[in-house]
Structure formats: C-alpha cells, structure tokens
Amino acid sequence: MSTLPRLVSRKANAERSVSRLRADSSEGTGCEELESVPTEKETRAALARAETREAGIKAALAPAVAAREGARILVYGRTRWGKSAFARHLVKAALDSGVAGTVLIHDPKFPDHAQYEGIAVSELSLVGVAVQAGSVVVCRPPMSAADAAHAARLLSESGERTLLLCDETRRALGGSQIWCDGKNPDGTPGERSFEWICLEGGGLGASLVLLVQRPRQLPGDAVDSAQTHVVFGLGGRSLTYLVTAGTVPPEAKDTIRRLPPGAFCVFGDDDDWDGKTYYSPE
C-alpha cells in the first residue's frame, strides 16, 4: 500500500474555513440545506422570545436531578451552530447541580488544541491520576472514545458520579448505529462500555452526553435511554428523521429549521412541547 503524503494547509490552522451555507450539505441535498438557513428576520423573531441558556440547561438536566440518577442527554445541530459552546456550559452546570462529581470529555476534533478546559490526557492509563487532580478530564487523541467510555464505567462502578461527554460522537461509532468498542490487549473485543452506560449506568450515577450532527447514525440504546434531546438549528434529512422518530414534535419543525446559531429547544420523552426556545450570547 502506498503511503499518503503529509498534507498541511499554508495557514496551518486546525479549524478550516468553511462557509455556513455549504458546511452541512452532507445532511441532505444541497437545496434542502440552503432553504433551511434562517433569514435575518427569522433570526430576530426567534431570539426575541427566547429564554436564557441557563434555563435551557436546567430543563435538560431536570429529569436526572428529579430522579437522582445519571443524565442522558443528546445534543443535535448543524455544524458550527453552537453544540460545543453549549456543552462547555452544561459541564459546569452538571458539576454545580451534583449530577456529576467528575466529567470525562472525549474531545478529538482539533489536533492542536482542546475545546474544553480541564486536565488533558492522551491515554487511558493517565486518567486515574488526572481524576485525583481535578473534576474535568479532557481525553485527547490518540485516546479513543472507547477508552474514555471504559474509564467512565470504571469510575462509575467505583462510586464516583461520572459524566462522559463525547464531543464528536461520530468518532465513537464503528459504523451507522454501532458503538466502536475497545479491544483487549490480545485483540479480542473489549467491554461494551457505551452500552453499559446507556442501559445500566444511570442508576449508578453515570451520565452520558452525546453531541451529534447526524442523529440517524446513533445506536438504538443511546436513543432509547435518552431523557432529554437538545436540538440546535437543523434542516434537511436530519430534521425529518427526528420528526419521524418522534423526537421532535411536528409543531416544532419550523422553529428548529429557523433557529440561529447558539439557540436551541429542549424536548423530553413525552409528546408535549412547551414552545420554548433558549439563547444567550456566548
């Protein structure tokens, strides 16, 4: 097999400059996405009625706080629409509210910098030392999402209320709707830690927050165990999928399509939507 040449941008900037109009074209046909970008007028109307981000985060954490168990939160939205910025605030709120005592974040997006504050580690063997030193541990490449999930499971089983946040959930998948589980040193399949966190972990205080651009790729146990769905601006096939799946009520579809960057709605697992949107400037 030939070796790929090393390709580096002239600007050597990790964050590519991508037009918002083109960024999400993989979510559907190009036409669908172009139509779904909100106009200035729609943006102003959406923000005029919005409640604060803090109120939205409280709504997202409410089921976990009420049940005194781990939180299961799925966060959807177009690329560059504010999911990671929201997640930084959510981490702080989860710690402040007692939902979590320790947060592990898998943050593989940018090779040269982390998007989250915390103690950065790049391999599983360093997580133990890091959690003794601080409450937020940022798992960076080459550490895999499977190793971060394994660490979250071990911590939860030891009695620590642990929240695992996957910033780019795509990297935790081994294909559509399949978790990418780790391997044992002898090459055999490792523990199914994501499945454990979804199905058993909540009662032990394990929380899971997944940030996703393409909801239809999520494994069924993540969707079935979710308590709340935080939906940023979305259009095309992804929005249609969420409506068809019953995650987004049909009456919220137009609102979601028009949400400007940073604004979001929160849906529980009942059918009712309170009509609220949330936004605070970053």
Stretch that binds ligand ATP, among 77-85, 150-158, 181-189, 244-252 (CB under 6 A): 77-85
What residues between 176 and 205 interact with ligand ATP by CB under 6 A? none
Interface size with Mg ion, residues (CB under 5 A): 2
Question: Is position 96 an interface residue for ligand ATP (rule: CB under 6 A)?
Answer: no
Question: Is position 261 an interface residue for ligand ATP (rule: CB under 6 A)?
Answer: yes
DSSP bridge partners of 228: 73
Question: Is position 79 an interface residue for ligand ATP (rule: CB under 6 A)?
Answer: yes
Characterise 147 by phi-psi region: left (phi > 0), alpha (psi -120 to 50), beta (else).
alpha
Residue 277's SS3 state is coil
Characterise 77 by phi-psi region: left (phi > 0), alpha (psi -120 to 50), beta (else).
left
122 binds, among ligand ATP, Mg ion, none (CB under 5 to 8 A by kind): none
Considering the complex, what minimum distance in angstroms separates the CB of residue 127 from ligand ATP?
23
Report which residue's Cβ sits closest to Mg ion: 84
Query: What does the DSSP 8-state code read for residue 189?
Result: B
The binder of Mg ion chosen from 36, 84, 169, 228 (CB under 5 A): 84
Q: Where are the beta strands (DSSP E) in the chain?
A: 72-76, 102-106, 119-121, 136-139, 162-166, 173-175, 178-179, 207-212, 228-232, 264-267
Considering the complex, what minimum distance in angstroms separates the CB of residue 168 from Mg ion?
7
Considering the complex, what minimum distance in angstroms separates the CB of residue 45 from Mg ion?
26
Considering the complex, what minimum distance in angstroms separates the CB of residue 11 from ligand ATP?
17
Residue 28's SS3 state is coil
Considering the complex, what minimum distance in angstroms separates the CB of residue 263 from Mg ion?
16
Report which residue's Cβ sits closest to ligand ATP: 262
Question: Is position 238 an interface residue for Mg ion (rule: CB under 5 A)?
Answer: no
Question: Is position 82 an interface residue for ligand ATP (rule: CB under 6 A)?
Answer: yes
What is the C-alpha separation between 9 and 13, in angstroms, rounded?
7
Residue 270's SS3 state is coil
Nearest Cα residue to 224 out of 247, 203, 207, 244? 247
DSSP bridge partners of 75: 211, 230
DSSP bridge partners of 208: 72, 164
Site residues, ligand ATP (CB under 6 A): 77, 79-85, 109, 213, 261-262, 280-282
Site residues, Mg ion (CB under 5 A): 83-84
